[in-house]
Structure 1
Amino acid sequence: MERLLEDIREVGPVLQPLLDTRISPSFFEFTAYYKVGFVTCLEWHAKSRLYDMFCYDPKTIKNDDLKQAISNEKLVSMVSEGLTIPHLLAGSNSISSRDSYIAAISRVFSTIGAQDGTLSQILDDKKDDAALGQVLEELYLGRNDLVHEIGIQTIGHPNVRDFDSFEAALSGGERLLGMMRTIEDVVTKVAPSNFPNKLGEDGFPVSEEEVLAALISSMEGKIDEAIASDTAGGELTLDDWRREIANRRSSLSAELAFIDSLGFAGGRYYDVRPFLKSTVLRQRSQYLALLSEQML
């Protein structure tokens, strides 16, 4: 979304003087298609948070989620790429209207324990007598006219076509970005610490490495306490457990240092090292979870 707004800010001042010299048509057709980009951003914002919700609490999965996934023509290709069930379910959800976007975010808010009416307050926010909910509705209607319900307002004579000015596109996009940031602010403040892909107060992603490291330390601590209090199952001694922890921490630290030293950061358009480190840590947390089931 930010990249689209940057594009408008850069292109508008260059092309607007040219429009000011025209009598007709005094618009560029491409400005209307910023709506398509905005809707795509909203669609994947909602889908990504649905994915996080499914991972955090699988009980939130509904029959309709399963039906959409099973009937989705992309099912075979998604499975062949090794995507997980939450990926499949979230990716198959249709976010093609204002109501479907609101419904998806409402499910997430309900799952993380946000207060009732929080999303309504966000959508009721007004600027220039237009509530965010109205801006969202007009966005989806305009986008559908462009790509699904093509009519005279899209392909007719220039004198009867609907169009967006650079100013209108920028204003609408900024309000939508503000809405997304407000929604993410609610997730940051309300969601539990183990809710996936939370953002920090600064709006940037919280380090998954730090979250997983804290989780691992907590899980190890609980097992340690159980062994020390003689309530753990099995015959493991406290010395044996602490020796295992020390060895594992040393090995894990060396593996993370090795990943940091790899020289292909950015070789595939982004730095994959954080993902690799999170994968290693996630495997450790999964092992501890299984171990805890047997010992606690």
Structure 2
Amino acid sequence: MDKNGKNVRDDLRRRLDEIKRISDEVHGTLNAISVISRMEDALEDISRLEELSTKYKPHEWARSPFSIISYYSVIYVTCLEWHARSRLADLFEYQPSSLADDDLKKGLGTEKIVGLITNKAAIPHFVAFSRNISNAGSYLETFARIFSALSIPNDPRKIIANIRPRKLADLTFSEATASGVDYLTGIYDFRNELVHQIDISQIGPTALRYDWDCTNARAYGEFVLSAIKAIEAEITASSPPDFPNRLDDDGYPINVEDLIDEKICELEAEIASRMEGFRTVLDVSKKAFAAEIELIETAEELNIIRWFDYRTPCRRALKRGRLQYLEALRSNLDY
């Protein structure tokens, strides 16, 4: 076997395993709430670092006692990239017709498609995960595309432009004229320079170095979190109710099972009004359904171990099976 070919297949297999893990409905992290949680964790971490930094004064002319503080920019940009990819995956799952030729050419090939089918990995997540969101422009363009596909009227660029961080310890931009887009661009540029090159601003004399201190790290972190939440608020307000991974008005995930339960009740009522035989067995099927739900909730074999929840996937599979049956029943009544 060709060694290079084997390496490519091994890389693809590892990537497919990663896609399956991050896109898992219950334990996956390719979703907006994971982005928000990561940002909130980072800001809590900065609070602890602020306490520590009071014990250490920076060297003369230095901006910060710890150059590592600048690397919070890596976390922030990772969250921005993850945010864009997660919502792009949601769009592709909800509206496959929004996939463009460019998405497929960059993200897929025959070997990858075979691998996706073989490993039962989701194509929407694979394509979205393969997208490059390496600058502020691509972040804003991605959400402009999502908003357009979902008929969300507001412009992501205008939303971000109206958000500004609190007063910073540096004068990277003129505070009188800089918009939120300028700050977003600045965070991306700062991160990219930090991780891709070594220059005088990092290893030169302390007076020439540009390191974030805790004030900057917190200001930029709060700005990024505000920007992400502002985008999410628009999705909550204007996206269809069944759009994946929607958040409620308070920024918490909407329980998908509540939506499934509502659809089941609606379909049961509709079918019962049109099909006499269905009415006679509805009470029996409801009792059997409730008994299976109770089994899932009480089975010792499905106990939650540490942070892994084994009951939710089983419960959702049962409910989706019921919903699928009812949808098939209703569609065939129409003939």
Length-normalised TM-score, structure 1: 0.84
Q: Does 1:278 align with 2:311?
A: no
Q: Distance in 2 between matches of 1:14 and 1:223?
A: 64
Structure 2 vs 1, CA of residues 107 and 268 (structure 1 numbering), >3 Å: closer, same or farther?
farther
Instruction: Say which is worse superposed, 144-153 or 4-13, in terms of deviation.
Output: 144-153
What are the within-5 Å matches in structure 2 for residues 1-296 of structure 1? 1-19=39-57, 22-23=59-60, 25=62, 26-70=64-108, 82-117=120-155, 119-127=156-164, 129=175, 130-225=178-273, 228=274, 238-262=275-299, 266-296=304-334
Q: Distance in 1 between matches of 2:80 and 2:203?
A: 26
**Superposed displacement of residue 262, structure 1:** 4.3
Instruction: Say which is worse superposed, 93-102 or 119-128, in terms of deviation.
Output: 119-128
Instruction: Say which is worse superposed, 103-112 or 55-64, in terms of deviation.
Output: 103-112
RMSD, aligned α-carbons: 2.7
SS at match of 1:18: coil
Q: Distance in 2 between matches of 1:183 and 1:275?
A: 29
Q: What residue in structure 1 maps to residue 10 of structure 2?
A: none
Structure 2 vs 1, CA of residues 160 and 81 (structure 1 numbering), >3 Å: closer, same or farther?
farther
- Quick one: which amino acid aligns to residue 185 of structure 1? A
Contiguous gaps of at least 5 residues in structure 2: 1-38, 168-174
Structure 2 vs 1, CA of residues 102 and 72 (structure 1 numbering), >3 Å: closer, same or farther?
farther
Instruction: Say which is worse superposed, 251-260 or 187-196, in terms of deviation.
Output: 251-260
**Superposed displacement of residue 66, structure 1:** 1.2
**Superposed displacement of residue 215, structure 1:** 1.8
Structure 2 vs 1, CA of residues 282 and 150 (structure 1 numbering), >3 Å: closer, same or farther?
farther
Contiguous gaps of at least 5 residues in structure 1: 229-237
Count of aligned pairs between the two proteins: 283
CA deviations 1:154-177 (Å, max 9, x no partner) are 344554332101010101110110
**Superposed displacement of residue 18, structure 1:** 0.7
Q: Distance in 2 between matches of 1:12 and 1:78?
A: 46
Q: Distance in 2 between matches of 1:191 and 1:11?
A: 38
**Superposed displacement of residue 218, structure 1:** 2.4
Structure 2 vs 1, CA of residues 2 and 78 (structure 1 numbering), >3 Å: closer, same or farther?
farther
Structure 2 vs 1, CA of residues 23 and 78 (structure 1 numbering), >3 Å: closer, same or farther?
farther
- Quick one: which amino acid aligns to residue 285 of structure 2? R
Structure 2 vs 1, CA of residues 98 and 276 (structure 1 numbering), >3 Å: closer, same or farther?
farther
SS at match of 1:209: helix
- Quick one: which amino acid aligns to residue 201 of structure 1? D
SS at match of 2:240: coil
Q: Distance in 2 between matches of 1:155 and 1:291?
A: 69
Percent identity at matched positions?
32
**Superposed displacement of residue 37, structure 1:** 0.6
> Given that residues 145 and 154 in structure 1 are in contact (C-alpha distance below 8 angstroms), is that contact kept between their aligned partners in structure 2?
no
Structure 2 vs 1, CA of residues 88 and 125 (structure 1 numbering), >3 Å: closer, same or farther?
same
Structure 2 vs 1, CA of residues 203 and 250 (structure 1 numbering), >3 Å: closer, same or farther?
same
**Superposed displacement of residue 291, structure 1:** 3.6
Q: Distance in 2 between matches of 1:182 and 1:9?
A: 23
